[in-house]
Amino acid sequence: MSKTAASVWQECLYFISDNIKPQAYKTWFEPIIPVKLTGEALTVQVPSKFFYEWLEEHYIKLLRVALVKQLGEDAKLIYDVRMENTYSNNKPRTVKIPSSNRNPINPQGMSVMAELNKRELRNPFVIPGIQKVKIESQLNANYNFDSFIEGDANRLARSASMAVANKPGGTSFNPLLIYGGVGLGKTHIAHAIGVEIKDKYPDKTVLYISSEKFTQQYIDSVKGNTRNDFIHFYQMIDVLIIDDVQFLSGKTGTQDVFFHIFNHLHQNGKQVILTSDKAPVDMQDIEQRLLSRFKWGLSAELQPPHYETRVAILQNKLFRDGVEMPVEIVEYIAKHIKSNVRELEGVLISMIAQASFNRKEFTLSLTKQIVDKFVKNTKREVSIDYIQKVVSSYFDLDVATLQSKTRKRHIVQARQIAMFFAKRLTKASLANIGAQIGKRDHATVLHACKTVDNLTETDKNFRKYVDDLRKKLSF
């Protein structure tokens, strides 16, 4: 029986599969397609230039041994490298890749040859196993579960994160989306999951990346005509962590490529972890097909920590820094800094710095000065999303209803109050406020603010609404 490209490659695969881990075999060898056999030269098709280079760098010895077993000492391997199609027809495009060790076999440069028989093999009997992609995880080891204090406001998110870290890709929490306001620990817990997974499963490829960097990488890949390589790189990740996924809003191309990457990872049992400043239902300008994927797993909210948790966070920070501080001072800070963890730690750092530089003791007087100054500088840093949530909750509405087109009086008034506080508590423009609160224009926001001012002066009930909400928003 004469040999064919398919039969030779199948025999090679039997040998290769016995000598590397199943996941490596699935990732790097199953996608390869045998094309033709010409004498001792086997031509195979690979999906991208990146794919070809990875095989050459990490599996050259394994490929040589497998081919020599089938075709003898003169065995040669030719790569038909499929590049991204940029033309109107459906024909795949191949390119010539010049190299001192890889000479073109086709005069038109339609494929690339690696002359395996010319390579020096000092010990051909040593078959390498899988060599994992050398990808820096971009994780901060200081952001771990030990330094993430559990409380009622974050218990669900922390428990789900621990479950994912213990069994990445093996729970129903895939994807796991952690959402909440600024400074509540979304980035911390995302890193903690990755750090724990790397500790428990060293062989897994974990990558943490911000959505902004992901977007920029995608744009660069389009400019460089390496989109396929970009996609394939991300499809190799075992645990993908994307921070601030809401910033994909309005970026149609990036959303499209992430959709395909997400599907591949999810279908292959890989873990996806996302963070956002809002729940999927509140995300704007995100494609519905992508939002539906976000909802497949678990969305867990991080809320502002309660008093007891704030005290525990401060005590943990002091313990880790080796600093002693009187209990009454810790309790004073916890009582007056309520919004988020970042501000709590900011006050503590300021306290330590002041006491150290000025050689002062920790006193309640010093604490009050720093806390008062800190609160004064940060009290206006409230997001429009947070304002909408507080106002909606106060009037027993959901945010979608607040943003809707309905003209029902009580909903219109709630919307106007939200716009009123957004103008006073944020630095956003009228146009930006209107866009975020129901896609209104700047004139509508201006009218809303004037209406709230007038009703506050003339309507006692309405004034009570505004006063109550002002307290809730700490203004």
Query: Which of 196-200, 277-281, 299-303, 341-345: highest mean pLDDT?
Result: 196-200
pLDDT reported for residue 99: 24
pLDDT reported for residue 274: 93
Residues 183 and 278 in one domain: yes
Query: Each residue of 201-217: pLDDT tens digit?
Result: 888 888 898 888 888 88
Q: 3-state SS string over the chain?
A: CCCCHHHHHHHHHHHHHCCCCHHHHHHHCCCCEEEEEECCEEEEEECCHHHHHHHHHHCHHHHHHHHHHHHCCCCEEEEEEEECCCCCCCCCEECCCCECCECCCCCCCCCEEECHHHCCCCCCCCCCCCCCCCCCCCCCCCCCCCCCCCCCCCHHHHHHHHHHHHCCCCCCCCCEEEEECCCCCHHHHHHHHHHHHHHHCCCCCEEEEEHHHHHHHHHHHHHCCCHHHHHHHHHCCCEEEEECHHHHCCCHHHHHHHHHHHHHHHHCCCEEEEEECCCHHHCCCCCHHHHHHHCCCEEEEECCCCHHHHHHHHHHHHHHHCCCCCHHHHHHHHHHCCCCHHHHHHHHHHHHHHHHHCCCCCCHHHHHHHHHHHHHHHCCCCCHHHHHHHHHHHCCCCHHHHHCCCCCHHHHHHHHHHHHHHHHHCCCCHHHHHHHCCCCCHHHHHHHHHHHHHHHHHCHHHHHHHHHHHHHCCC
Decide which of 361, 378, 395 is a domain's last residue: 378
pLDDT band at 412 (very low <50, low <70, confident <90, very high): very high
pLDDT reported for residue 448: 93
Confidence check: pLDDT of 101 > 70: no
Residues 185 and 269 in one domain: yes
Confidence check: pLDDT of 131 > 70: no
**Residue 129 placed within a domain:** no
Residues 202 and 288 in one domain: yes
Rounded mean pLDDT, 84-113 = 35
pLDDT reported for residue 84: 43
Mean pLDDT, the chain, rounded, equals 78
**Residue 335 placed within a domain:** yes
Domain CATH number, residue 389: 1.10.1750.10
Confidence check: pLDDT of 416 > 90: yes
pLDDT reported for residue 109: 31
**Residue 146 placed within a domain:** no
Query: Each residue of 263-321: pLDDT tens digit?
Result: 888 888 899 999 988 888 777 778 888 888 888 888 888 887 778 878 888 877 777 77
**Residue 80 placed within a domain:** yes
Confidence check: pLDDT of 23 > 80: no
Residues 423 and 366 in one domain: no
Residues 226 and 276 in one domain: yes
Residues 295 and 346 in one domain: no
Decide which of 276, 302, 328 is a domain's last residue: 302
pLDDT reported for residue 157: 86
Confidence check: pLDDT of 405 > 80: yes
Domain CATH number, residue 31: 3.30.300.180
**Residue 27 placed within a domain:** yes
Domain CATH number, residue 283: 3.40.50.300
Residues 290 and 328 in one domain: no
Picking from 62-76, 146-160, 200-214, which range would have the lowest pLDDT averaged per residue? 146-160
Confidence check: pLDDT of 113 > 70: no
Residues 409 and 363 in one domain: no
**Residue 106 placed within a domain:** yes
Picking from 92-96, 217-221, 277-281, 360-364, which range would have the lowest pLDDT averaged per residue? 92-96
The residue range of the domain holding 168 is: 155-302
Residues 312 and 289 in one domain: no
Name the domain count of the chain.
4
Rounded mean pLDDT, 61-67 = 87
Picking from 36-45, 90-99, 258-267, 460-469, which range would have the lowest pLDDT averaged per residue? 90-99
Residues 436 and 297 in one domain: no
Domain CATH number, residue 351: 1.10.8.60
pLDDT reported for residue 182: 76
Query: Each residue of 204-258: pLDDT tens digit?
Result: 888 898 888 888 888 888 888 888 888 888 888 899 999 988 888 878 888 888 8
**Residue 254 placed within a domain:** yes
pLDDT reported for residue 286: 83
Picking from 35-44, 76-85, 310-319, which range would have the lowest pLDDT averaged per residue? 76-85
Residues 163 and 298 in one domain: yes
Decide which of 302, 324, 339 is a domain's last residue: 302
Percentage of the residues of the chain whose pLDDT score is greater than 70: 84
Residues 297 and 313 in one domain: no
**Residue 141 placed within a domain:** no
